[in-house]
Amino acid sequence: MITIIKLILIGIHTFLLSVVALISIAVDRTFISYHYLSKIFSGGILFISGVRVKIFGLENIDKNSTYVFVSNHSSQFDIPVLQWSVPNKLAMIFKKELSKIPIFGWQLKYGPYIMVDRKSPESGMKSVEESKELMKTKGISILVFPEGTRSETGELLPFKRGAFHLASKVGYPIVPVTIIDSDKIMPKGTFKLNRGTIKLIFDKPILTDNIKGKVDEIKLMDEIKSIMQNNKEKFR
């Protein structure tokens, strides 16, 4: 019963903030107001759900710089946790299907986020160019999930090279982000909400100037996966 009440409140909160976000998109094309609304949105979801976030390594991040944040993914709560915790203006790459959701999907589509059709290779290439332009002209950082989908167990899934190809093309530093215990709040495949604390670790930015091709991208991918795995073992 408590979970149902929480989900209803989250639905109302999401609807109201999505309406306000659509208005902000129309009047503020710098997306600064959208950035602050994302903080209110994510903070509200965490508050309603009874979830706390414990952040480590925030000193590694310059809030005025632009990065590619690369994070593991095991729960629907990863996104609000990242929106709440990342101090920089942040955009995400989202699948095209979400844009069809009334109000909520519309603000994703017309906001600073980047829509991709996972069935279209051309869409993937276009997202790289859109990311580069957004980072260069708006100073907005990009968030990517290299696993491509949520892990059911909380353990790391195989990484896809696409996230690291994007990072090498846009030329901005990569920040490895490790999320721990979000799978205990809302496991994949269920709508049950549990109270608890999620840990989030920011590692030091990694320069991408020396990424020249596929071999370097794979090397970077393995390095970041190792960092995340070590953090999972260290902060459990």
pLDDT at 134: 87
Give residue-wise pLDDT tens across range 80-119.
999 999 999 999 888 888 889 999 999 999 999 988 877 7
Task: Taking residues 120-125, report their average pLDDT.
Answer: 69
State whether residue 157 is helix, strand or coil. coil
Give residue-wise pLDDT tens across range 20-34.
999 999 999 889 999
Domain 2-235 has CATH 3.30.9.10: no
202, 58 Cβ separation under 8 angstroms: yes
Cα angle 152, 153, 159; round to 5: 75
Give residue-wise pLDDT tens across range 65-74.
999 999 998 8
Q: Tell me the pLDDT band of 165, cut-offs 50, 70 and 90.
A: confident
Judged by average pLDDT, the poorest of 11-15, 190-194, 223-227 is: 190-194
Q: What residue segments make up the domains of the chain, in order of their start?
A: 2-235
Question: What is the chain's mean pLDDT, rounded?
Answer: 89
Nearest CA among 68, 32, 108, 53 for reference residue 221: 68
pLDDT at 214: 82
pTM, 2 dp: 0.91
CA distances from 96 to 22, 118, 185 (A): 18, 8, 26
Task: Taking residues 126-151, report their average pLDDT.
Answer: 84
Judged against a pLDDT cut of 80, whether residue 163 lies above it is answered with no
pLDDT at 193: 87
Judged against a pLDDT cut of 80, whether residue 154 lies above it is answered with no
Q: Rounded to whole angstroms, how far apart are CA atoms 223 and 82?
A: 21
CA distances from 55 to 60, 87, 117, 179, 204 (A): 12, 12, 33, 10, 14
Q: Tell me the pLDDT band of 210, cut-offs 50, 70 and 90.
A: confident
Task: Taking residues 192-203, report their average pLDDT.
Answer: 93
pLDDT at 121: 67
